[in-house]
Amino acid sequence: MSNGKLISFEGIEGVGKSTTINSVKKILETKGLSVFCTREPGGTKYGESLRNILLNNKSVISPEAELLLLFSARRQHIEEVIKPQLAKGKWILCDRFIDASFAYQGYGKKVNIKKIDLLISNFTENILPDLTIFFDLPYDLAKKRFPKSKKKDRFETLDDHFFNDVYKGYLKQVNKNKKRIKKIDANKTKSEVRDQIICEISKCFKEFKL
C-alpha cells in the first residue's frame, strides 16, 4: 500500500515519552523522512473529545466502558489519520497505541484480555505498529518524576498497586511480542534515551540509516 511506518511509544506515566518523541521526530526529519506525530487517546477531533472525558477525574466510567471508549477513539484515529498518513508514506510516531489497552485496561483494571484481542481483531483493520518502543522505568522510579503541582487526571489518581500492575502488564506484552516491541532503559538522560530509540529504529528499518 505504501512505505509509511507506524512507530508507537509506550510506558507508564512519568517516563518522558512526549518530550522524547519530539526529539526523535527532529532526527528522522534531518534524514529526509516525513514524520507525523499523533497520540492516543486522541489524534482526531472526536478522539480528543473522548480523551477529555476519559481523563476528567469527575468522569465515572467502568473499566469495560472505558475500554470501548478507547477503541472508539482508536477506530476513528485509524480511519481518519493513521491509514491516510501511512498511504502518504509518512513515518507516524504515535504516543501510545494498542499495548496501552492491554497494560492499563487488561492488566491494570483486569478486563479480560480476550475482550481486548476481540476488539483488536475486529476494529483495528490489521493496523499493528511496525515497531513499538517501551520506555522501561519501574513505577517507584517513575513516580518520583510526577509533577507535584499539576492537577491529577483520572488515571493519575489511581494507586501504586494499579501502576505496578500496569508496569508488569507492559513487561508481559514485551515478552509476548519480542520482535515488535523493543525495551529501552528510561532511567537515563534525555539524550541517552533518545539515542537508544534511534538505534532501535535504525536496526528495524533499512530505510533509516544513521
Q: Which residues bind ligand TMP (CB under 6 A)?
A: 13, 40-41, 70, 95-96, 100-101, 104-105, 155
13 versus 136: smaller Cβ distance to ligand TMP = 13
Query: Shortest Cβ distance from residue 62 to ligand TMP (Å)?
Result: 13
- Grid cell 517507584 in the structure block, residue: 140
Query: Shortest Cβ distance from residue 53 to ligand TMP (Å)?
Result: 12
Query: Shortest Cβ distance from residue 30 to ligand TMP (Å)?
Result: 26
Query: Shortest Cβ distance from residue 52 to ligand TMP (Å)?
Result: 11
Query: Shortest Cβ distance from residue 157 to ligand TMP (Å)?
Result: 10
The residues with which 36 forms a beta bridge, in sequence order, are 92
Beta strands in the chain (DSSP E): 5-10, 35-39, 91-95, 131-136, 181-185
> 1 and 175 in contact (C-beta within 8 Å)?
no
Residue whose C-alpha is closest to residue 90's, from 140, 171, 36? 36
Instruction: Report the chain's terminal Cα–Cα distance, integer Å.
Output: 26
3 versus 56: smaller Cβ distance to ligand TMP = 56
104 versus 134: smaller Cβ distance to ligand TMP = 104
124 versus 202: smaller Cβ distance to ligand TMP = 124
36 versus 71: smaller Cβ distance to ligand TMP = 71
Q: Largest alpha-carbon pair distance within the chain?
A: 47
CA distance 40 to 100: 9
